[in-house]
Structure 1
Amino acid sequence: MSHTVDAHRDLHSEQGARPGEHRHRSRQPIIKVRDIAWLEFEKPDLVRAEAFAHAFGFATALRTDDELRLRGTNSAGPCLIARKGPRSRFVGCAFTAHDEIDVLTVADAMGATPTPLPEDIGGIAVDLVDPSGIPVRVVAGLHDGVPLPAQTPHVYNMGRETLRANATQRPPRMPARVQRLGHVVLQSTRYRAALNWYLDTLGMIVSDFLYFPGQRDQGPAMSFIRCDRGATPADHHTLALALGPRTRYVHSAYEVADLDALAAGGEYLRERGYRRSWGIGRHVQGSQIFDYWRDPDGFLVEHFTDGDMFDCTLEPGWAAFTASGLAQWGPPVTKDFLGITPGPEALDELRSMAAAVRDRDNEFTLSRLGGLLKVASS
């Protein structure tokens, strides 16, 4: 055990895996996805959704009466697609394969049929469903398009190093221009089955495992999962999965230029009456500087900057899942972020807890409920 701990102390986590704990990658995945492409939602009011999107820092790639596509500055492809629907709901996510051959490979292995994407997006897709029931698209061959002008990161004077002389810092209060979609966080009642599916089917690898306080022997309860790009570093997590009493979207994160863009963009949102959920702070797993907001439909979205990038050589870390362990610095984690603010969402979660522990066809047992309840107070 001491050897494992020492191996991680100078890496990214004080604890490494114990013998026999969950594997963090598949020996023979079907394919290895390269990145996350976009998220899909349904929303009843696309005008209201677009107004928030512009304040948050997206650009509109397409707008019709029935569909809204939002993009960042890095790529012409969408990073969020919202279609008009009777109620607000998360529909699914899309991941980018290395090429169209990979799409055909995973389609054949899963018994699915590839289909062409809309002509203005380009390429092909195959529609899958993970063990949680969440729709997952694998796409490739998308048009590159033209990047948009991005915010330029600031030059900072640090200690004795003077990089900026005879010049001031005056970041304007304006929307922080979203560069790209970084990751999505999902909760599942079938967490372990879903985790194994993403490793085996999409070739993703785990950067960090979290376990409920006092329940390490019951296995992980959350995992931060990155794309395997070999020697090329990838985001610490492109997908994060957590065990919970119902399968649902938790939040998604969008990269911005730097801390000034994030903070000034937050002031812009606040002045327009939008609701901050939690921030500004710096995470532990992934190290991102974060700022969380609620969109008008109640979905949680994050601005982030300065996240960790790992290549394929790093082994996963292990840590207890605690509220105080979610950030290195910043304000205390809020009840809103944890989903325990009194209201419809918290009531739905309580009902889900009662139903989940009675349902034998999931991984959320009475014991796991006890572990989850310790997270908020840990």
Structure 2
Amino acid sequence: MTALHDVHDGLHAEDRALRGEHPGRHRDPVIKVYDLAWLEFEKPDLVQTAGFATDFGFTSTLHTPDELHLRGTEAGPPCVIVRRSHRSAFVGPAFRAAADADVHRFAEAAGATVERLPDTLGGVAATTRDPSGALVRIVSGFTEYPELPAPPEWVDYNMGRHHPRVNHTQRAPRTPALVERLGHVVLQSNRYLETLNWYLEHLGLIVSDFMFYPGQRERGPVMSFIRCDRGGEPADHHTLAMMLGPANRYVHSAYQVRDLDTLAAGGEYLREKGRYRSWGIGRHIQGSQIFDYWRDPDGFLVEHFTDGDRFDASVEAGWAAMSASGLAQWGPPATADFLGVAPGKESLRELRAMVSSLRSPDNEFDVQRLLGLLKVAKS
């Protein structure tokens, strides 16, 4: 087993695990996935979806009346697959197997079958549902598109006493921030711990950071930032993040862009196009990403990010109390829209889910957890 060390030690917002707390990884997982492959959605208006996707910085590889595939500039499969439906819904994530045999190994453990993917994707998949009901695919052998040409990198930064740029200017064009790749997805579950343990056991994911409600650490974590276990090869601080809540639902997904200039200029482009910024620009604490959050026309929260942390398998999980003010190291305060408490359909749906979860003993969201969540929202 990999020797663990603590990169969180000494940081103002994080601590290490106490004796008896969740270890953040499974001793003998079924497989170890390598990365997210893509996310799947259903939406009624693919023309509207494609318009926002272009403004956000995606490139389409397939656009038919019934299906839309969106990719980034890095080599690989599409980042996002959208199929036409009468409703808007998140279907689930697909994870890239580290080896072809892992698809079969996962299928056997999960009681799934290995099936060929459509010709538009290629390869094979084993599909099941996690304990919260999200559709999860483990995929391999899919079509990988070559890297797309990218604009020249910004290299002439005048900083401190280093001034390489003389007699010429540097201004990022106000154009869509080209998405490079899919970074992570965040999901909410009223069976948070059960679902977290399922991902650690079946997919070999490991926790980078846990969060707990203030005053409730003894009850265990309520959020986890989870990365792929690639051994000595660094991986994103989180590929999947999970949080406890009254409803099983998508929270947001994140897509990497090149740098802060690209992110900020792309944000100005989106603003001028009349798109809705939910929260940003700022820098997170857990994961360190510079972020900018937007709502697509169907209300899904999507994030541009850059400069995120990368850990290898030796880093143990950090622990921190959850607070709204602790979501960012710098930037504007978290908005009511981002926190899900702005008046509207989403907050009303969440309120109804709270009532339903509190009435049912068959989940982890109880009155004490509700009080903890409300305390976080007011912080």
- The offset of 1:147, in angstroms, is 1.1
Q: 1:358 and 1:9 mapped to 2: Cα distance?
A: 40
C-alpha change, 1:107 and 1:213, in structure 2 (3 Å) is same
Q: Confirm or deny: 8 A CA contact 2:6 2:315 kept in the other structure.
A: no
Which residue of structure 1 lines up, in the alignment, with residue 329 of structure 2? 328
The SS at the match of 1:168 is coil
In structure 1, what is the equivalent of residue 289 of structure 2? 288
Large movers: runs of 4+ above 4 Å: 4-7, 10-13
2:277 maps to a residue whose letter is: R
Question: Residue in 2 aligned with 1:39?
Answer: 39
Task: Tell me the amino acid that sits aligned with residue 277 of structure 1.
Answer: S
Q: Distance in 1 between matches of 2:223 and 2:152?
A: 35
The residue aligned with 2:56 is: 56
SS at match of 2:16: coil
**C-alpha separation between the residues in 1 aligned to 2:68 and 2:120?**
14
SS in 1 for 2:278: strand
Offset, 1:5: 12
Query: Could you tell me which amino acid in structure 2 is paired with residue 154 of structure 1?
Result: W
Q: Which moved more, 1:27-36 or 1:156-165?
A: 156-165
Q: TM-score, normalised by structure 2?
A: 0.96
For residue 273 of structure 2, what is the amino acid of its counterpart?
R
Q: What are the residue-to-residue correspondences of 1:1-378 with 2, within 5 Å? A: 8-10=8-10, 14-155=14-155, 156-378=157-379
Between the aligned partners of 1:12 and 1:196, the Cα distance in structure 2 is 28
1:162 CA displacement: 2.5
AA paired with 2:170? Q
Distance 2:7 2:304 in 1: 32
Partner deviation per Cα, 1:122-161 (whole Å, 9 max, x = no partner): 2110101101111100001122331111244322222112
Cα pair 2:5 2:315 within 8 Å, conserved: no
For the residues of structure 1 that align with 2:71 and 2:345, how far apart are their CA atoms? 31
Check conservation: 2:36, 2:182, Cα contact below 8 A: yes
Query: Mean Cα displacement is larger for which, 126-135 or 50-59?
Result: 126-135
For 1:196, the aligned partner's letter is N
Q: Is this contact kept in 1: 2:132–2:189, CA < 8 A?
A: yes
Secondary structure in 1 matching 2:15: coil
1:265 alignment partner, SS class: helix
C-alpha separation in 2, matches of 1:166 and 1:61: 41
Change (3 A) 1:5 1:255: closer
Residues 112, 7 of structure 1: alpha-carbon distance in 2 compared, 3 angstrom cutoff: closer
> Offset of 1:14 from its aligned partner?
3.5
Find the aligned partners of 1:152 and 1:31 in 2 and give their Cα distance: 39
Measured on the aligned residues, the alpha-carbon RMSD in Å equals: 1.6
Deviations 1:59-100 (A, max 9, x none): 001011100000001024111011000011111110001121
Letter in 1 for 2:292: D
How many residue pairs are counted as aligned between the two chains?
A: 375
Contact 1:7/1:16, CA 8 A, preserved across alignment: no
User: Aligned-pair distance for 1:309?
Assistant: 0.3
State the alpha-carbon separation in 1 of the partners of residues 359 and 9 from structure 2. 41
Q: 1:163 to 1:31 in 2, by over 3 A?
A: farther
Cα separation, partners in 2 of 1:6 and 1:172, compared to 1, 3 Å: closer
How far apart, CA to CA, are the structure 2 residues paired with 1:215 and 1:354? 21
2:99·2:140 contact (CA, 8 Å) conserved in 1? yes
Query: Structure 1 stretch 101-110 or stretch 279-288: which is displaced more?
Result: 101-110
- Say whether the 8 Å CA contact 1:5–1:14 is kept in structure 2: no
How high is the TM-score relative to the length of structure 1? 0.96
Deviations 1:24-58 (A, max 9, x none): 10000000000001111110000000000000000
Judged with a 3 Å threshold, the aligned counterparts in structure 2 of structure 1 residues 218 and 203 are, in CA distance, closer, same or farther, namely same
Q: Is the 8 A contact 2:290 2:308 kept in 1?
A: yes
